[in-house]
Structure 1
């Protein structure tokens, strides 16, 4: 399990691609690889991966074809930075919300607003996933636990303070980028339970809404 509190940034050194499997070699800050062992779980941009080998401050992870298909990890190239969080331990502070590290879908950045001292990013999600997004609800984006600001059809936004921009990859994000999305599990359970009881949430209007900032 993870808490959605990003612990830092790692840099992709190389990708060793084989049929159906890619091995990612990521360089971490030295202090963040202390007492890491083979078999440990680390969330990379919100995707739970297993450490297969360690070489100093470089950790290696295997990502199978299904993981590459469902997440943005297959888009990474050497030099790219990623958010990371080591698995939570009993007694750790839960500063965000509980995450499994299982990515549900990806979203696309469609607009970035820059009011004074903060940034608002709009995302567009595909299919039926907007049914689980609510104003002021929780969502994990690239492994970061965030509060949803506003939902419009199949788009939603989050408001980010300078500290979040500093310690995560959101300070580098651009329109058109894809990000990993993990829906809040409690919200998903409630929505699905109500749907089975006949209280289904109406499908979101997925018509092109134009610029979300208008």
Structure 2
């Protein structure tokens, strides 16, 4: 688990194809690896990866073909800058929100514009994730815990303050940029709980609708 508070920016040193997947070597810069052991988890642009070697200036991690297809890691090149966060511990300050490092889908930056010293971004999420995104709720974008300022359909807005711009890869975002999205895990569990006994039926992976809520007494007539 992670908090979505980026600890450092790293640099991709190499991507080595291996039998259909890839081994990433990442230089971690100022990230303190003194307490990291082989097998520990590190989030790279919001994707939970396992450290398989620790060469001294960073770590390497194997990335499966599925992860390459479903996240932006497949678009990385040598020299790409990435957001890094070590897994949380029982004593970690939870400054963001609970993040699993399991990307739910790819979003696209629709627009950006100055807002005083901040930058306001509009990002379009996949339609199937829109129901999990709420005004003033939390969302993880490229591993960064952020607050949703507003939401209209599948497009949500973020207001990024100067500190966050400096400490993360957000300064590189442009309209058309693809970003990793992870919705708040609480929203996913709540959906499952609301299904009640239907959750045990084969083929039921979601399906909460206004009609379902009304039929089960969650909405007033």
TM-score (norm 2): 0.86
How far has the Cα of 1:175 moved from its partner? 1.0
Q: SS of 2:97's equivalent?
A: coil
**Larger Rg over CA atoms:** 2
What does residue range 59-70 of structure 1 map to in structure 2 within 5 Å? 59-70=59-70
Q: Structure 1, residues 161-188: CA drift from partner, whole Å, max 9, x if none?
A: 0000000000111111111111101122
How far has the Cα of 1:192 moved from its partner? 4.2
Unaligned runs of 5+ in 2: 199-206, 212-221
**Which residue is 1:103 aligned to?**
103
TM-score (norm 1): 0.89
Give the CA RMSD over aligned residues.
Answer: 1.7
CA distance in 1, matches of 2:150, 2:192: 21
**Which residue is 1:209 aligned to?**
none
How far has the Cα of 1:35 moved from its partner? 2.7
**Which residue is 1:167 aligned to?**
167
Q: Is the 8 A contact 2:97 2:145 kept in 1?
A: yes
CA distance in 1, matches of 2:130, 2:163: 27
Q: SS of 1:187's equivalent?
A: helix
Q: SS of 1:2's equivalent?
A: coil
CA distance in 2, matches of 1:31, 1:41: 14
Q: 1:199 to 1:44 in 2, by over 3 A?
A: closer
Q: Is the 8 A contact 2:11 2:28 kept in 1?
A: yes
Unaligned runs of 5+ in 1: 203-214
CA distance in 2, matches of 1:155, 1:193: 26
1:200 to 180, 191, 209: 209
Q: Is the 8 A contact 1:12 1:24 kept in 2?
A: yes
Q: Is the 8 A contact 1:23 1:61 kept in 2?
A: yes
